[in-house]
Structure 1
Amino acid sequence: MIPVQPPAPAAPPSPLLPPWKRNLPNLLTASRCLLAILFFAVLSTWSFERSPAAASPHVADWRLIIAAAVFIIAAATDALDGHLARKWHAVSPFGRVMDPFADKLLVLGAFVYLAAPSFEIDGFGQATSVAPWMVVVVLGRELLVTSIRSVLEGAGVPFPATASGKWKMILQSICIPLVLLLIALAPLRELLPTPSERVAAEWRPTAAYWAITISVYLTVLVTLWSGLPYILRGYDALKATP
C-alpha cells in the first residue's frame, strides 16, 4: 500500500499580479465548459438525413462548420489557459480541478456525439467512422489514468502529464473538427456506374470518407498508446512501496 502523504499544495497566485491576470486563466477554463455545451447544443439538433450535404454533395453544411469552429476555439483555450497560468504564476486550485474536467467534457462529449445515430447514413454506415466501442476505449483510458493519478498524487507522488498525453490531446483536437469539416464540405460517397437500369445502384466511399476513417482510427490508437506511460509509472510506484 502506498503511504499517504499530504499532497503538495499549489503555489498561490502572486499578490503582485493584477486581478485580470489572476483571473484570466480560470475564465478561459470556464469558457471552455460553456463552449463545450454550445458545441453539444449545435450537434444535438443535427442529423445527416436533414443535412444539406445529404441532399447535394456540393452544398456546405454550415451547422457542422459552426460546430467545428466552436470546438477549435474551445481547444485553443486549453492551450492558452495553462500557458498563461504557468507564465504568470497564477495556478489556482480551481484551475487544477476544472482544467482537466473541461478537457474531458469537451473531448469525451464530442466522441459520444460522433458515434450517435444522427451521423448514420442509411445503407452506408457511420459518416464519422466512430463506433461505440471507440467511445468506450477513450472513456476507459481517461478513467484509468485519472484513477491512477488520484491515488498517486493523494499519496504525495508527483504525476505530471507526459509527452504522449499531450500528443493525444493535440491529435484529438485535430481529428474531431477535421471529421466535422469533411462531412460538411466533401461528399463521403459516390454512385458506382451500373451496366443496366435493372442492376441496383451501389455506393462507394470517397477519399474524404477514407480520410475520416484513418484519422479516427489513428486517434483511438494514439489515445490507447498514450495511457501506457501512466500505467507503467503507476506500476513502478506501487512496486517501489514496501
Structure 2
Amino acid sequence: MNLPNILTLSRIVMIPVFVAIFYMPVEWRYMVSAAIFALAGATDWLDGYLARKLDQSTPFGAFLDPVADKLMVAVALTVLVEEYHSVVLTLPAVIIIGREIVISALREWMAEIGSRASVAVSYIGKVKTTAQVVAIIMLLAFPPGVSWAYAGVSLLYVAAALTLWSMVLYLRAAWPDLFPSAESTRAVERAD
C-alpha cells in the first residue's frame, strides 16, 4: 500500500461522509459537501501525479482509481437529482452516469479481447471530467434556485455534451472490434 493508493481509498471513504453531511438539516451542508467533493477531486489529481512522479503505479491503483472516481461522481449526481427534483438536472445526470456504465463495459470487453489500448483515455475525457467536477461543486455549494446553481446546471450540460462526444470517440475506436466487416470475418473463418 503506497501513498497514491491511500489517497484513492480516501475518496471512497469520503463518500458516506459526503452523503451524511449533505443530508444534515443545517444550512452549511451545501458548502461542506461541496468542499468534500472538491477535496475528492484534488486527491484524484494528486494520486495520479504522485503515482507517476514517485513511480508508484500499481495494478491495484490502476483498478481502484477509476472506480473511486465513478462512485463519487455517481453518488454526487444522485443526491443532486434528489435535491433538485427536476428533469433539467436529471437529464445530464442520466447521460453522465449512463455513459460511465457503457464505457466501463466497453473497456472490460475490449480488455478481454486484447484491444484495451484502442480505447485509452483521451484529452476530451480530461476536459469532460474538469467540466463535470466544477459543475458538481457549484451545484453542491448552493441550494436550488441560487444563480450559481443555475450556472452549475449549465456547466453540467456542457459536461454531458462532452460526455456524449467522448463516448462517440470511444465507440468509434472500438467499432472495428465491435462490428468486424464481413470480409475480415470470412478471412478469420478461412484461417481456422
Structure 1: where are the runs of 5+ without partners? Answer: 1-21, 52-60, 121-125, 189-206
Partner residue, 2:15: 36
Aligned-residue sequence identity (percent) comes to: 32
Contact 2:30–2:142 at 8 Å: present in 1 too? Answer: no
Is 1:88 matched with 2:47? no
Larger CA Rg, structure 1 vs 2? 1
SS in 2 for 1:183: coil
Question: Quick check: 2:34–2:140 contact (8 Å CA) kept in 1?
Answer: yes
TM-score normalised by structure 1 residue count: 0.67
User: CA separation in 2, counterparts of 1:169 and 1:209?
Assistant: 18
Q: CA deviation at 1:90?
A: 1.4
- Per-residue Cα deviation, 1:18-73 (whole angstroms, up to 9, x for no partner): xxxx6001000000111122111212335xxxx6xxxxxxxxx3111100110000
The code of the aligned residue for 1:102 comes to: A
After TM superposition, the runs of 4+ consecutive aligned structure 1 residues lying more than 6 A away are none
What value does the CA root-mean-square deviation take over the aligned residues?
2.3
Q: Deviations over 1:165-217 (max 9, x none)?
A: 11111111111111222438xx63xxxxxxxxxxxxxxxxxx44542331222
**Conservation of the 8 A alpha-carbon contact between 2:132 and 2:155:** no
Indicate the residue corresponding to 1:73 in structure 2. 39
Instruction: Give 2:165's match in structure 1, choosing from 205, 222, 225.
Output: 225
Q: Is the 8 A contact 1:129 1:212 kept in 2?
A: no
Q: What per-residue deviation string (whole Å, max 9, x for no partner) do you get for residues 115-134 of structure 1? A: 00x445xxxxx4x9512x43
Provide the TM-score with structure 2 as the length reference. Answer: 0.83
Aligned residues: 180
**Residue 130 (1) aligns with residue 89 (2):** yes
Identify if the C-alpha distance between structure 1 residues 233 and 94 changes in structure 2 by more than 3 Å, giving closer, same or farther.
Answer: same
Conserved in 2, the CA contact under 8 Å of 1:129 and 1:216?
Answer: no
Q: Any idea what SS the aligned residue of 2:95 has?
A: helix
**Corresponding residue SS for 2:89:** coil
Matches for 1:88-127 after TM superposition, within 5 Å: 88-116=54-82, 118-120=83-85, 126=86
RCO higher in structure (CA 8 A, sep ≥6): 1
Distance 1:119 1:213 in 2: 10
More strand by share: 1
Answer whether contact 1:168 1:222 (CA < 8 A) is retained.
yes
